[in-house]
Amino acid sequence: MKVAEGMLLDKLPPVRGRLQEKANLAIKSRWGVGGPAEVLFVPEDLDDLVFFLSNIDDDLPITVLGFMSNVLIRSGGIDGVVIILSNWFRKAFVEDGIFEVGAIVGCSELSTMAMNHELGGLEFLMGLPGSIGGAIKMNAGCYGSEISDVLLELEGVSRSGKIRWLKNSDLDFRYRNSGISNDLIITRAWFRGIRHADYSVHKKIHEINKKREEAQPIHKKTCGSTFKNPEGIAAWELIHKAGCRGMRIGGASVSDKHCNFIINDNNATADDIENLALKVANKVHETFGVVLEWEVVRLGKKRSSDNNG
């Protein structure tokens, strides 16, 4: 639904949370780029979210964002309403080895929580920079483990404002993807930890942190792996062998440390980042005949004339 500027806010239901026009999304982006949200909605709590979704037009575009650790917002911004969950959805509890966590709990936060309770199985989450909700949606993983290996159940709210509960077996998990509808907003999830693990949880997390520090440009403006690994080979290896390491467009460059990471190291725009990734993908295809599939989710409209990204 395309609404004239300044009119969309007037069409939205009264909420207890925050509604903001022309909200700056770049400040929330791990890349530090991207155009604005036409309207940003930050719900006060679950009831506020349900009320909002139950009282909006069916054709109103809705986009849900978390930590934006795997998202590129294009320079033209996002039409409609962008929803970012409030800290009410950051609650976390553990009982009898079961973790109940809100959707915007960070993956590393849950890993640390498991470590502090001496529960195993969730160490790999320390290697994921995003939130639990986003990680579930894309079945994020690293170091041989995925969210689908440890998730028991989730709670979500449908586009029509209905609360739903779905078990792991309902979610059609696959490599870096799931069958979770784009119309479902994940709000809470449950995970099982391993009691009396036959290894040191602290030591394993330390090893993961060390590996990340050594192999990834984690202190740079980046959204992690740009492309999924094709079957049987690492994307970074194809990018390296195609001669793309260090390649640059504008303020964006292919990381020398891990060439499946694109870095904003000189005031890059969203266009710089996307165009560089496309150039890398084309080079890999020309060299090896392999089509790289995006792992980063691209959202919004392109606007090449936007010099602010």
Classify domain 90-192 by CATH number.
3.30.465.10
- pLDDT value of residue 6: 58
pTM of the model: 0.92
- For residues 115 and 202, give the distance between their C-alpha atoms in angstroms, rounded to a whole number: 6
Question: pLDDT higher for 175 or 4?
Answer: 175
Active site residues: 176, 225, 295
CATH of 227-293, one of 3.40.50.300, 3.40.5.50, 3.90.78.10, 3.40.50.720: 3.90.78.10
- pLDDT value of residue 80: 97
Locate the domains of the chain by residue range. Answer: 9-87, 90-192, 227-293
Tens digit of each residue's pLDDT (9 = 90 or more) over 79-108? 999 999 999 999 999 999 999 999 999 999
- pLDDT value of residue 157: 98
CATH top class, domain 9-87: alpha beta
- For residues 13 and 81, give the distance between their C-alpha atoms in angstroms, rounded to a whole number: 12
Tens digit of each residue's pLDDT (9 = 90 or more) over 198-212? 899 999 999 999 999
- pLDDT value of residue 1: 39
Average the pLDDT over 271-286 and give the result: 98
Q: Which of 273, 293, 297 lies closest to 137, judged by CA?
A: 297
Average the pLDDT over 69-85 and give the result: 97
Tens digit of each residue's pLDDT (9 = 90 or more) over 120-145? 999 999 999 999 999 999 999 999 99
- pLDDT value of residue 306: 45
